[in-house]
Amino acid sequence: GAVVSQHPSWVICKSGTSVKIECRSLDFQATTMFWYRQFPKQSLMLMATSNEGSKATYEQGVEKDKFLINHASLTLSTLTVTSAHPEDSSFYICSARDRASPYEQYFGPGTRLTVT
Amino acid sequence: GENVEQHPSTLSVQEGDSAVIKCTYSDSASNYFPWYKQELGKGPQLIIDIRSNVGEKKDQRIAVTLNKTAKHFSLHITETQPEDSAVYFCAASVWNKLVFGAGTILRVKS
């Protein structure tokens, strides 16, 4: 149980284009999903928290107009990187919290974004 | 805000030996402390966790201890195996958000 999927697993896009990443909880309902960013050989940094049916809460320093987050259902959240630039290249990981458990976060496999 | 420090940054052990990774946190409001294992190119996998009302928890070869007074928590892996080689992250949860340590690269030599 507690499986989280992400799609795509990797994507290459040209500078100036937008990319959408999907995060799904496969076998549980997630009232809260989180988006993280991880640079090579570094730790995970929380970008934003999204609750189903409401606006995402962004961490300090994260541009909400650049990283659009939508949490349309209890099993799906999307992150759209708008007008991507090479410095946005990173490993993006989502996590989801089971509505039945207030503590555990289950992570997806991550999406490697490369902006050329 | 919360700050989590993790040591050591790298740890090499011989197969069969024990490995210990330590973390400290700053915010006394933190109440949940998970440990994650991350293999190259993959997302973090929850391996064990502990809540603030518990001092120790064990799951087969893995155990976690928590000292709330000192704001320390540690991961103990016994009888290490080559497949334990990975990056391990501790985290502390405050106000339902996870703050991660910098990570420990564990290498188990056979």
Q: What per-residue confidence (pLDDT) applies to A7?
A: 98
**Looking at chain A from residue 61 to 80, which residues have their Cβ under 8 Å from any Cβ of chain B?**
none
Residue A35 at interface with chain B, using a CB cutoff of 8 Å: no
Q: For B42, which residue in chain A has the nearest alpha carbon?
A: A109
Chain B residues within 8 A of A44 when measuring between CB atoms: 44, 89, 98, 100
Report the candidate in B103, B19, B46, B74 with the shortest Cα–Cα distance to residue A98. B46
Q: Are the beta carbons of A31 and A52 closer than 8 angstroms?
A: yes
Residue A18 to residue A105: CA distance in whole angstroms: 28
Confidence label for B95 from pLDDT (cuts 50, 70 and 90)? confident
Please give, rounded to a whole number of angstroms, the shortest distance from the CA of A24 to a CA of chain B. Answer: 14
Each residue's pLDDT tens digit, B20-67: 999 999 999 999 999 999 999 999 999 999 998 889 999 999 999 999
Residue-level pLDDT, tens digit, chain A, 116 residues? 689 999 999 999 999 999 999 999 999 999 899 999 999 999 999 999 998 888 899 999 999 999 999 988 899 999 999 999 999 999 999 999 988 887 889 999 999 999 99
Q: What per-residue confidence (pLDDT) applies to A72?
A: 82
Q: For B32, which residue in chain A has the nearest alpha carbon?
A: A103
Residue A34 at interface with chain B, using a CB cutoff of 8 Å: yes
| Of the partner residues A4, A43, A106, the one whose CB lies closest to the CB of residue B103 | A43
Give the N- to C-terminal CA distance of chain B in Å, as an integer: 41
Please give, rounded to a whole number of angstroms, the shortest distance from the CA of B110 to a CA of chain A. Answer: 24
Confidence label for B16 from pLDDT (cuts 50, 70 and 90)? very high
| Of the partner residues B43, B49, B51, the one whose CB lies closest to the CB of residue A93 | B43
Phi, psi of B98 (to 5 degrees): -95, 135
Q: Specify the residue for token string 């197969």.
A: B15
Report the candidate in A64, A71, A67 with the shortest Cα–Cα distance to residue A80. A67
Listed in sequence order, the residues at least 6 apart from B100 whose beta carbon sits closer than 8 Å to its beta carbon are: A43, A44, A45, B4, B89, B90, B91
Is B53 exposed, middle or buried (CB count within 10 Å of its CB: 0-12, 13-18, 19+)?
A: exposed
Asked if A104 lies within 8 A of B46 by C-beta distance, the reply is yes
Please give, rounded to a whole number of angstroms, the shortest distance from the CA of B59 to a CA of chain A. Answer: 16
Strands (E), B26-61: 32-38, 45-51, 56-59
Q: Specify the residue for token string 């090479």.
A: A86
- b/e burial code for range A97-109 (CB count within 10 A of at least 16 → b): bbeeeeebbbbbb
Chain B residues within 8 A of A110 when measuring between CB atoms: 41-43
Residue A43 at interface with chain B, using a CB cutoff of 8 Å: yes
H or E segment to which residue A10 belongs = strand A10-13
